[in-house]
Amino acid sequence: MLLHDERVQLVEYCRRMQADALTVGTSGNLSIRSGDHIAITPSGAAYEHLTPESICVIDLDGNSLEDGLEPSSEVPMHTSVYKSTDARAVVHTHPLYASTLSAVVDELPAVHYMVALLGGPVRVAPYATFGSPELAENSIKAMEGRFGAILQNHGATTYGDSIAKAYTRSVYLEWVCQMYYQAKLLGQPNILPDDEIARVAEKLTTYGQTVPDKS
């Protein structure tokens, strides 16, 4: 089986994405790149029924490398991210607050310093039909200098050098979207300046520890 370990990881993160309410039904999709191959979730398949064998494998041009289920409809977006960045994993979600804000704002401002994890204020990519080359192109433009983008009237996409980092960025993006939404209900939020976000981004490069596994 091609990319066995990557398939196992995708099944695990699909379960997490569902548990964390980052998507609804069968929407959303995830992928991991290994060399010139990409493991990607299948199109329209229930996450609770996924197994490593259900995960699709494609090349960088979107061609299926094995028989089985059809890969995600967002293959153009995933392959475009891999061709345009040093990404090793892509997470596309349909979370409530990011999707809500996508319909009314052009950018998620630095209302919290954790936007630094995304590279700064998060842009909203102009709307295009799901799965289309236009959506892929709009997403790449919105992600320039960033690790993610909000997709107008749609959802959000993040990437990273591992599925763990890409997923963490999705979680924080949705959290900051929720914070911004709630802050706007109370008044005009304070927005952090670019130089502060740059300082935080630098600090985040050395933040965090690994807890030893004593099992």
Q: Which range marks the domain in which residue 42 is found?
A: 4-205
DSSP letters spanning 102-124: HTT-SEE--SSGGGGGGTSSEEE
User: Per the domain annotation, does 133 fall within a domain?
Assistant: yes
User: Per the domain annotation, does 211 fall within a domain?
Assistant: no
pLDDT digits (tens, 9 = 90+) for 45-102: 999 999 999 999 999 999 999 999 999 999 999 999 999 999 999 999 999 999 999 9
Of 147, 126, 122, the C-alpha closest to 136 is 126
Catalytic entry in 12, 53, 70, 74 = 74
Which amino acid does the sequence have at 16?
Answer: R
User: Per the domain annotation, does 210 fall within a domain?
Assistant: no
What average pLDDT does this structure show over 169-198?
Answer: 98
User: Per the domain annotation, does 175 fall within a domain?
Assistant: yes
6 is catalytic: no
User: Per the domain annotation, does 212 fall within a domain?
Assistant: no
Distance CA 35, CA 206 (A): 27
Domain count, the chain: 1
C-alpha of 66 from chain center: 25
User: Per the domain annotation, does 213 fall within a domain?
Assistant: no
User: Per the domain annotation, does 214 fall within a domain?
Assistant: no
Buried b / exposed e along 169-203 (16+ C-beta atoms within 10 A): bbbbbbebbbbbbeeeeeeeeeebeeeebeebbee
Checking if the pLDDT of 213 tops 90, the result is no
- Name the token pair of 18: 């569902």
DSSP letters spanning 58-79: EETT--B-SSSSPBPTTHHHHH
pLDDT digits (tens, 9 = 90+) for 7-35: 999 999 999 999 999 999 999 999 999 99
Tell me the CATH number at 140.
Answer: 3.40.225.10
- Name beta bridge partners: 160: 89
User: Per the domain annotation, does 120 fall within a domain?
Assistant: yes
